[in-house]
Structure 1
Amino acid sequence: MEGICRDRLMELPASMFDVFSCSMCYHYLFHASKGLKPTATWPWPLVPTDAGRKYYHENVSIIADVRSSVARTLVCESLNDNECTRWIDCCNAAAKCCQTQLSEAVKNFTSGLFCPRTWDGFGCFDDAGPSTRNFISCPSYVEHASISATAYKDCTENGTWWVDSETSSEWTNYTTCVQTQDYQTVVYVAFACNILSLALLVPACVIFLGIRQLRAQKRIKLHLCLFLSFIFACIVTLIWDVAVYLDRLHNRRSETVMHRNSDACKLLYILTRYVSTANFFWMFCEGFYLHRLIVHAFSTPKSLMPYYVFGWLISWIPSIIYAIVRASNEDYNRSCWVYNIDTFEWLLYTPNMMCVLANVVFLANILKILCSKLQAHPNEPSNYRKALKATFVLIPLFGLQQFIVIYRPPPTSSIAFAYEVTQTVITNTQGAIVALIFCFLNGEVHTFLRSCLGTRVDMSSVTTNGRANSLSSATQITSFTSGSRGNKSFENNDKGYIPLSTSITLQDNSIANKSTNGRVSFAILTV
């Protein structure tokens, strides 16, 4: 007679147990997001979901027998290599647990009460005495699990496994397998970086908007849009982390905003994806604009309207298409849309990557032009240092630092946590770095700020020091005003765009703008 093995849901003959537990392994590991789901009757085959139509015919039915190479191939068709390995490992662990249940004798407990040996869907528990907590090592196939941690299952005083009142089924605590402290650390690092970025970006925008000579320049208008995209990204990310992410870390799944899957939560998620895309689009606009200036000898475009449309409006298109895909598919329309939907994620990744790759091309061509100019003046070695400096300055503006974290190691990797912290810092401090370089450390901004401060000091002396000081003040004010009269001159003043020096002065600008017998662009670039 065939032995009986126990799953947390039912007891089954060994041959049936292997198929059932393997089918449920797929369900517990991936739910329906990977394209298959188990049916409720023997032999519990895996059938395609709506998401699985692109991998399987509608009438496909796969018996989850991990010993069959055909079944393994079919099931793994919708999984990547890591996911396939995790599923197979879970199936093998279930089969091994069944063999252990059959081969080991039942333990004797003095009270006569005990919780029976069982497979709980992920792990194998032995017979346990009443009022005990029983531990197992966290399985490697549980996503994000630390194999050095332990999961536990409680045996109640009446000799039954503890049952979750919400699901009415036996429950094992696997939350201890996931190092939530690490995830909280990453969130707190993101908090700090976003607050730092906001603390620099907001004053930078105030400075750009408050000084007429700056806000009239087209490049400053582009900087403002980029800065605003960073500000929106910081705000939306902070709201998401507090309202959704920390809520999930601190509460049981059934009590979380993510589990309730409200429309407001999904809208917030789409906003996080939109602001990220808008960020990349504005980086592209910066790269395209600078490349155009260099290639066309600092000829500025007549209007920035195409840039505004591209940066703020066109950037909605990937997010809108992505939202339609998720909302129209029952398998994807869950858990506040946070779960990855495989190839459809490329609806968002592709335009972002194309923006960064385009900026790589722009930077390479800019460097090519710079080098060609430098070769015409080999006796000025300092120019090479300035060109190198210009390259590093443009890296955060173009978003090229993203290449540092382009490869994400698997969650089980020893460097996974270090990667997450590094990626968080690089992503969330970009706004702060750009604000520092292009506003707070920029010589042109310093010059206009000193002029404004000097003007205010002189104006205050009008009311305190009498007519003589008033005349002196008026002369200085007139000088300053006459230098800035008419926005056209400042609107097209993009010749100091590459900040090769952070101590540029108005005098330096005037020298750079003079005609030098065909060497104008070179003189400008080496200011």
Structure 2
Amino acid sequence: MISPSEDGLSVDEVLTLRKRDCEIPENHTGGLECPREFDGWTCINTTAAGTVAHFPCPYFIFGFDPSRAGHRTCLEDGSWFRHPDSNKTWSNYTTCVDMEDLKMRNNVNLIYKTGYSVSLLALTLSIFIFFYFRSLTCTRIQIHKNLFISLAINNLLWLIWYETVVDNIPLLLANEVGCQILHVLLQYFMVATYLWMFCEGLYLHTLLVITFVTESKVMPILHLVGWGIPALLVAIYTSLRASSKDDTLHCWIHESLYNWALSGPVCLSMIANFVFLINIVRLLLTKLHSAARTSPRSSFKDKNASIRSKRSTISTPGIPSGRTRKAVRATLILIPLLGLQYLLTPFRPDQGTQWEYVYQVVSAVVTSCQGLCVALLFCFGNGEVVTAMKKKWRQCKLSKKKPWHSCSAVTSVSFSRSSYGHEMAAGPGDGPPMDGSVLGSCQL
């Protein structure tokens, strides 16, 4: 619990104040007792011999629960208990830590580190593939590159954060500028990742709604949204948080009241992507309805045409069911690309409830494995990438005596918009392009 005299003070100032107050002499009640003593964190008041002194856990120590209490034993001879290893008077602060909660959080941190490591590996390989094959240069792939780069850097920074800051109590107490800068960089690339996901959704939706899009003007705008706006938001967040002493402790590891400067725009981008996804599905099904009504009927010379027509009408009135399922499936795999999986964890349960552990595990898996998911769906499972790699492999097989870098692929790049409806209807399993965006396809 924070006393009124300690409100707004730094840790060093609090410790200096507590030590000074502890030096004020007390009125003794008589009898054998242990003297008043400052243990480095807390002032232990005079305690009768053979009793135990209880005191609140320091609120400024990371990992301590201020609602719990530490204790110190006064022996029968009027001396404080000494630890057998150090032979120094010892205050027991082990009760300040909830061991079950600590174990749970360590397990969650392990999930984060494992997921981020695997995702970073997959994203790094994906970025190499995108840059290596010069045929993959359309606008859609350019947006993928920026998203993958922001995700990869974000994952790398999180790994550094978990390895060097989270469990490093001396570093958290020192609260040096380096770990604060790391926190700010983390926030920047996290927001940049969300806004590049918004750029993915905005571009896909724009291609559907607007008939003609000037490709040369799209990327500068998206770069401004994806990299420029996060810089502005993080600058506002940093200036607000730096102005509050309570929010600058422990390498800024605790959540701040000023997180709204980042979480507000991020939530708006996710809502916008959700609207984009719903509208993409609606427009796609509308196109399929129109295609079904205008498509030529089966030849009247086919004796079984009328029978098949009746069956088709009974099973799927107006729309071919297979095409519809594939179209919806191709659109739904946009969810990890647009970051809509985060809508599964919008509200955090209260700390200590039975659902908190479930929430933490689900959140850790969803967050840390997003990079792996988008790499699998939009790079390794991308029909254009698969085609380019197969072509490179065939060329290298024809020139076995030449090194890998001498195998050059000459490909042409063109932007195809007219085949959009058929590609979406074909779905990710019917040939390139296999990623769910299937817009602005790079023809190989």
User: TM-score, normalization: structure 2?
Assistant: 0.72
- Structural mapping, 1:384-463, within 5 Å: 384-460=324-400
| CA spacing shift, 1:261–1:244, aligned 2, 3 Å | same
Out of 300, 307, 311, the position equivalent to 2:226 is: 311
Q: Measure how far apart 1:446 and its partner are.
A: 1.3
CA distance, structure 2, for counterparts of residue 170 and residue 136 of structure 1:
10
Matched residue SS, 2:351: coil
| Residue type of the alignment partner of 1:456 | C
Out of 268, 281, 287, the position equivalent to 1:367 is: 281
User: 5+ residue gaps in structure 2?
Assistant: 18-28, 293-317
| CA spacing shift, 1:150–1:264, aligned 2, 3 Å | closer
User: TM-score, normalization: structure 1?
Assistant: 0.61
- Structural mapping, 1:102-117, within 5 Å: none
Q: With CA pairs under 8 Å and 6+ residues apart, which has the higher RCO, 1 or 2?
A: 2
Out of 146, 151, 154, the position equivalent to 2:72 is: 154
Deviations 1:86-137 (A, max 9, x none): xxxxxxxxxxxxxxxxxxxx9x9xxx66799xxx99xxxx97737xx89999
| CA spacing shift, 1:312–1:353, aligned 2, 3 Å | same
Deviations 1:193-246 (A, max 9, x none): 0011012111111111111211x1110110011000110111110111111102
Name the residue aligned to 1:334: 249
Matched residue SS, 1:230: helix
| Residue type of the alignment partner of 1:236 | L
Name the residue aligned to 1:203: 125
Name the residue aligned to 2:114: 192
| Residue type of the alignment partner of 1:346 | W
- Contact preservation (8 Å) 2:327, 2:427: no
Q: Measure how far apart 1:374 and its partner are.
A: 2.4
Deviations 1:383-423 (A, max 9, x none): 22112212320111111111111000111211212211211
User: 5+ residue gaps in structure 1?
Assistant: 1-21, 41-105, 249-255, 464-476, 514-520
| CA spacing shift, 1:302–1:340, aligned 2, 3 Å | same
CA distance, structure 2, for counterparts of residue 129 and residue 381 of structure 1:
82
Q: Measure how far apart 1:330 and its partner are.
A: 3.2
- Structural mapping, 1:2-41, within 5 Å: 24=3
| CA spacing shift, 1:499–1:438, aligned 2, 3 Å | farther
| CA spacing shift, 1:177–1:490, aligned 2, 3 Å | same
Give RMSD over aligned pairs: 4.4
Matched residue SS, 2:336: helix
Percent identity reads 27
| CA spacing shift, 1:323–1:500, aligned 2, 3 Å | farther
Aligned residues: 377
Name the residue aligned to 1:354: 268
Q: Measure how far apart 1:502 and its partner are.
A: 3.4
| CA spacing shift, 1:284–1:195, aligned 2, 3 Å | same
Q: Measure how far apart 1:428 and its partner are.
A: 1.1
CA distance, structure 2, for counterparts of residue 330 and residue 150 of structure 1:
24
CA distance, structure 1, for counterparts of residue 182 and residue 176 of structure 2:
10
| CA spacing shift, 1:347–1:404, aligned 2, 3 Å | same
Name the residue aligned to 1:274: 188
Out of 135, 138, 161, the position equivalent to 1:213 is: 135
Q: Measure how far apart 1:145 and its partner are.
A: 8.2
| Residue type of the alignment partner of 2:367 | T
Deviations 1:486-519 (A, max 9, x none): x4x159899488596334446x99xxx9xxxxxx
Name the residue aligned to 1:77: none
Q: Measure how far apart 1:172 and its partner are.
A: 4.1
Matched residue SS, 1:129: coil
Out of 491, 495, 501, the position equivalent to 2:427 is: 501
Out of 164, 174, 180, the position equivalent to 1:260 is: 174
CA distance, structure 1, for counterparts of residue 419 and residue 241 of structure 2:
44
Deviations 1:439-477 (A, max 9, x none): 1122222112111111111123799xxxxxxxxxxxxx9
Q: Measure how far apart 1:298 and its partner are.
A: 6.9
| CA spacing shift, 1:23–1:185, aligned 2, 3 Å | closer
